[in-house]
Amino acid sequence: MTSQLTTYVTLICTSGVLNLYLFLYVFLKRHHYSKIAVLFMLYTASISIYCFAAAMGLLAANLGQMKFWTTVQYIGMPVSSPLGLLFIMYYLGIQVTCKRAAALLLIPLISFIMVATNDWHHLHYRSFEIDAALGIPFIYQEIGPWYAVHGIFTFACMFAAFSLLVFRWRETAKTYRLQLVALAFGQLIPMSSSFLYLVGVAPPGIDPVPMVLWISSVLYLWAINSSRLFTIMPIAKDVIFNSINDGVMVLDESNRLIEFNQACRHNWPKLNKTMYGTDFELLWVELTGSPFPLKLETDAKTQELKLPQSEQVFQVRNSPLEQSGNKKGQLLIFTDITELKKLQEKLEQQAYTDELTQIYNRRAFLQQCELEFKAAKENSMPFSVILMDIDHFKRVNDTYGHAIGDQLLMHVVRVCQAQLTEGQIFARYGGEEFVLALKAYSRKEAEALAHRLRKGIESQPFFMGKEAISVTLSLGVAEMPNEPEGKLFQLLNQADQALYMAKEEGRNRVMVYTAKQQLQS
């Protein structure tokens, strides 16, 4: 064996030993790593097979042994480049389905079969012989059509892996960039050697790739030991940061955009990487067409934001980013609560709105009226209520049915609402009874409004097809007494007494509760 050949074998075996060491090292510590370690083990195992078989091929004594070890090389060599690509994709957080991964390994499988059966079809090697000038173990070969397919595929996998790493450089935090450098050179070195071999620049009869793979192995070993490859990786950013359903924007200490996730891009389709470095206030105007309505707090705070010209509502959480007590930026987290707000509004409407007439129900009226009642007492303002009842409503239900009775109730509400102004609390008090709270209305003003309501209802019968159903109201009016101990329920009770008297006096009339406990029409 010449010294040159000894050097070749030594370099190849060094590559094989280092990759075997990497495989065993990661295998023994696999429980401390993520699933990416499995891909890395398969990758290094395939390279080890390739390297050791290449070394044994250089030690072969005849053509038969050389063919055998070449076939063994093709157990590991064709799959190493797609496994390396899958490893890099997983590292960068690029999702690959099992079917696509299997499809990526289809060509390497065919290549192995082609080499193993080459003497029958010569589609991989047209000619595979001992080099006439150099002798054993140097090979003279003429490539076949499948060799070209295999070579292009292998080079494409390594180039794709290298390109993915380069393209992620800008997005990767400085802490992890040394990992990217190590992995990128780990792909670049065999890719360059493979290219030189394919174009015929490498030493004749020798595949130079396994001789340089030890350099890639050293880089991988350094990345594992010094920069915590497999335990802390940029993949954490992609898998966690980009899989968060909430939109996240990262701003620097000058409130300029430095990062955003996919959910943010979904919320604001105009957002793109060219906007990195843009002041957030200007960015927000560009994205939404209006200024950011909230204050960018220096302390952690949660605020609510409704987008202009949109139904979308977000909960915005501001979280300052600090290092050693110094502000380094802040995190804005946008949680879409649109559906939650709609549900909340719907529940509130169901809780406080009468389902049939869509005005306040008794519960909502009492809550709102209590606040207005207290405010009127504190400010010494007049306050009145009107209780009203549809005359002979039961007769309508009995004669025409409850469906017509419901329509009649809605008719009364529409006619009354046409007479009311904003700030007057109008509610269905129960059955066919309604109530109206009037802030800043004296007894006489409330009485005048009650008469207008009565006349409005009387003059506008309810039509059921061509048949007109006459509708009248009985109304009771009461004004808040000028007494500190007066309560809302007392005022409502007084209005109820007035309403009772209106019915007793013949209906379709207004009765007022007087301060002397007497009633007047």
- Catalytic residue annotation: 432
436 burial (CB, 10 Å; 0-12 / 13-18 / 19+) is buried
Asked if residue 429 lies in contact with residue 387, where contact means CB atoms within 8 angstroms, the answer is: yes
Residue 360, phi then psi, degrees to nearest 5 = -55, 145
Compute CA distances 30 → 24, 26, 38, 41, 93, whole Å.
10, 6, 8, 9, 19
Which 3 state secondary structure label does DSSP give 310? coil
Is there a contact between 302 and 315 (Cβ–Cβ < 8 Å)?
yes
Q: CA dist 83 to 157, 185, 263, 425, Å?
A: 9, 16, 30, 72
CB 209 within 8 A of CB 190: yes
Tokens of 339: 């559906």
Residue 489 · residue 435 · CB < 8 Å: no
Question: Could you give the CA distance from residue 143 to residue 145 in angstroms, rounded to a whole number?
Answer: 7
User: Can you tell me which residue has the tokens 């200024």?
Assistant: 291
Calpha distance 56→71 (Å, rounded): 12
Short-list 520, 249, 279, 481, CA closest to 383: 481
CA atoms of 521 and 510, how far apart (whole Å): 6
* Phi-psi category of residue 358: left, alpha or beta, with phi > 0 → left and psi -120 to 50 → alpha: left
Which among 447, 515, 438 is positioned nearest to 476, based on CA atoms? Answer: 447
Instruction: Return d(Cα 269, Cα 262) in angstroms, integer.
Output: 10
Strand 125-130, strand 139-143: pairing: antiparallel
Distance CA 255, CA 236 (A): 24
Residues contacting residue 27 through CB under 8 Å, at least 6 positions apart: 41
CB 388, CB 473: distance < 8 Å: yes
**Helices 63-91/174-198 angle, 10° precision:** 150
Separation of alpha carbons 359 and 363, rounded Å: 11
